[in-house]
Structure 1
């Protein structure tokens, strides 16, 4: 058995930077990764999908160009070139990260599956077939999540795609049926529709993006349907079968009525589940919640002293930037004696549909359920000068404020560059800048952020 100061299970967006920092700080560190360095973000998530979304946007631009007085010829989508570009960028990010790890003193990178064999002992089944047991006083779990798959009759028999396997397609699906109507489903749905697929989205709830406010959900649904996507809400897939031509038939229950849809491919995008099943956490005593996520406190500590859980596996917000922030919290607390925690942490995020949905703070439905005193203001992008000039008039800006303190409670920007505009409001929230100050700010003209003036002018003090 080899003893280390630190064991990190999973080289994702928390484990990777934490391993670097602890090793450089003099800690003998062992980083265990079962697949690829970089985790979901680099290999199956942010990097490949956003790379492909850019190509999909380029394919859609000629349609919008006509409205601007520009005529173009037929659009030809070279999907093999799109995939090759995506694969090259992923490989560049992945190998760059791995090579940088291999140069760091005090850091050992082991590829293999890890499972606890004792309270602070970890057995690694290496990819080369050998086994090794390692131990450490500090252990960090950063194993992330994988696609959740529902139990539906025939689904496994016909074959299905996940957000990981769909990235390996060599050809554009003729008709892509997507089970789920949230962030992953909508990004992939719009992207493949722009590549040329017919797309149908099935959502069990009464609206897509059920965690978002109704007006935001309805606005995006209108945008996607106008673009040509099919969206069926309050719908549930009941049975899958293969027909004699090799296609897929799906029996669905929608609004109380059974109907059959024929498609060529099925993407399952109903959510994620924690990768804790193979860790043998019973051997070290770490407690899981009812869904299989590792339970942690606001300092990301498990119930076992010296074991932490970072990133998606702890059941917190499943975003790359949150995983990265998790590593900052534990590093600062352990190495610099800080008292960082997840309590009160601002949560920004962006869904990269076109237009983007940037979000920060609380939503209107969250404010109502909490009984808060608040005001809501909205501004259609059709009334935003920059949007009119650029032809980007889809979507809206929305903000919630406290009418007494004048603080911004939350915002949703469904707009071109919505992820960038929301960062302006995040800085305002973090810095305690009130909405009455923002509405009189001097922003550069003409920018999207400048329209925050007009958004907050709609509040009557």
Structure 2
């Protein structure tokens, strides 16, 4: 049995850089990966979806060409070429990640399915055949999540699609019905609507994006419906059945029973942790009811010397959280000086226009009983949006009325994530809203209208 200083299970956006940095710090390190280097983000998540979303946006832009004084038309949508471009980008990123690992001294890359034999002993069923037995005083679990399959009668045998399999489909669905109303559902819904599919979204909740403020949720719904996407909220899907080239879906809305036929069904109703194959009980690692690993503020599990980073530990499931987890754990392991408390966790939903969010929503701030002020301006008041011809969306900020500190921001608009990041840095630096209101931005940026946004608090006219 080979002895290491650290074993990392999973080569995603947390596991890969952590393995390389520990190895470079002199730790003899093993990284176990069962499929591809790069994890969910590179292979089936962020990289492929955002690549295909770029194609969908180009289609949408060509369709609006006359608004910019251009006579242009879209001759054909080549889904094969779109998928090939996506696959080429994924392969580029994946190979780069793998080469970086293979070229790192003091680091062994092991391909196979890992499981605990005991607390610090990992047995791997090697992809090449046979098994490997290794041990280390520190084990880091970074196995991420996988598609959740809701308990719907007939779904398992209906030929349903996931976000992964849909991106490999060599045809454009005539009618894509999506079960779910979260980030994945909305991004894929808009993408395939722009590719030419009829799109229906069945959302179980009373509104899409229930974690957002109502005005943000309503604005997102409005812009999606303007593109012809049908959204049904309060829809509880009961049964799915494939019949020939059609799929029949039965669902209820309140007490009303409804049905709909479509050509394809996409399941986008959440994800579950990749923890079931790890034999965690033999290591004494506790999980919650859903299988997420329970960690403390130092990312340590209930078992001494075993840590978890990224989606598998629950909490906000974003690539950038996994990456930041690795930075925190690296500092813990090398210097014992960093923890996860009080992190600002931003995110961006890549519909078009983007929704960038960080900090508290208005509803969360009011639920905490905070004395707040709220400002909101439509993108039709943003000079850059008017000039570029896309006035969809809005800017919204929540501030503490007493301290003037920025508590939360939502930017729904072109480059919304980039504008949000400006205010994230202001929040991290404890820069109050009056400083942002009065600072000089380059003209004419989207960020320049943050002057106007924060003028709203003082009744100033932009």
TM-score by length of 2: 0.98
Corresponding residue for residue 223 of structure 2: 223
User: CA separation in 2, counterparts of 1:224 and 1:110?
Assistant: 44
Corresponding residue for residue 107 of structure 2: 107
What secondary structure sits across from 2:458 in the alignment?
A: coil
**Over residues 380-435 of structure 1, what are the superposed CA-to-partner deviations in whole Å (9 max), with x where a residue is unaligned?**
01111111111110000000000110000000000000010001100100111111
Residue in structure 2 matching 1:381, options 370, 379, 384: 379
The answer on whether the counterparts of 1:152 and 1:237 sit within 8 Å (CA) in structure 2 is yes
The answer on whether the counterparts of 1:59 and 1:75 sit within 8 Å (CA) in structure 2 is no
Query: Deviation of residue 172 (structure 1)?
Result: 1.1
Q: Spell out structure 1 runs of 4+ moving beyond 3 A.
A: none
Query: Deviation of residue 179 (structure 1)?
Result: 0.5
User: CA separation in 1, counterparts of 2:85 and 2:161?
Assistant: 21
The answer on whether the counterparts of 1:24 and 1:105 sit within 8 Å (CA) in structure 2 is yes
User: CA separation in 1, counterparts of 2:169 and 2:129?
Assistant: 30
User: CA separation in 2, counterparts of 1:261 and 1:277?
Assistant: 35
Corresponding residue for residue 40 of structure 1: 40
Corresponding residue for residue 189 of structure 1: 189
Corresponding residue for residue 211 of structure 1: 211
User: CA separation in 1, counterparts of 2:443 and 2:426?
Assistant: 19
What secondary structure sits across from 1:242 in the alignment?
A: strand
Query: Deviation of residue 75 (structure 1)?
Result: 4.0
User: CA separation in 2, counterparts of 1:317 and 1:234?
Assistant: 24
Query: Deviation of residue 373 (structure 1)?
Result: 1.2
Q: Is 1:10 the equivalent of 2:10?
A: yes
Task: Give structure 1 stretches of 5+ with no counterpart.
Answer: none
Residue in structure 2 matching 1:340, options 328, 338, 353: 338
The answer on whether the counterparts of 2:159 and 2:242 sit within 8 Å (CA) in structure 1 is no
Corresponding residue for residue 78 of structure 1: 78
Query: Deviation of residue 298 (structure 1)?
Result: 0.7
Corresponding residue for residue 30 of structure 1: 30
Corresponding residue for residue 256 of structure 1: 255
Q: Is 1:444 the equivalent of 2:442?
A: yes
User: CA separation in 2, counterparts of 1:317 and 1:239?
Assistant: 30
User: CA separation in 1, counterparts of 2:222 and 2:115?
Assistant: 47
Query: Deviation of residue 192 (structure 1)?
Result: 0.7
User: CA separation in 2, counterparts of 1:8 and 1:157?
Assistant: 36
Corresponding residue for residue 66 of structure 2: 66
**Over residues 317-352 of structure 1, what are the superposed CA-to-partner deviations in whole Å (9 max), with x where a residue is unaligned?**
1111110000101111211x2421110001111000
The answer on whether the counterparts of 1:23 and 1:29 sit within 8 Å (CA) in structure 2 is yes
User: CA separation in 2, counterparts of 1:452 and 1:64?
Assistant: 28
Query: Deviation of residue 303 (structure 1)?
Result: 1.3
Please show how residues 21-420 of structure 1 align to structure 2 within 5 Å: 21-243=21-243, 245-335=244-334, 337-420=335-418
What secondary structure sits across from 2:266 in the alignment?
A: strand
What secondary structure sits across from 2:212 in the alignment?
A: coil
Task: Give structure 2 stretches of 5+ with no counterpart.
Answer: none
User: CA separation in 2, counterparts of 1:133 and 1:447?
Assistant: 56
**Over residues 117-175 of structure 1, what are the superposed CA-to-partner deviations in whole Å (9 max), with x where a residue is unaligned?**
01110110011121111110010000000011101011111111112221211111111
Query: Deviation of residue 193 (structure 1)?
Result: 0.6
What secondary structure sits across from 1:117 in the alignment?
A: strand
**Over residues 205-244 of structure 1, what are the superposed CA-to-partner deviations in whole Å (9 max), with x where a residue is unaligned?**
110011111100000100000111110001111111122x
Query: Deviation of residue 197 (structure 1)?
Result: 0.8
TM-score by length of 1: 0.98
User: CA separation in 1, counterparts of 2:6 and 2:336?
Assistant: 19
Corresponding residue for residue 427 of structure 1: 425
User: CA separation in 2, counterparts of 1:288 and 1:175?
Assistant: 39
User: CA separation in 2, counterparts of 1:342 and 1:148?
Assistant: 27
User: CA separation in 1, counterparts of 2:424 and 2:242?
Assistant: 49
User: CA separation in 1, counterparts of 2:150 and 2:124?
Assistant: 30
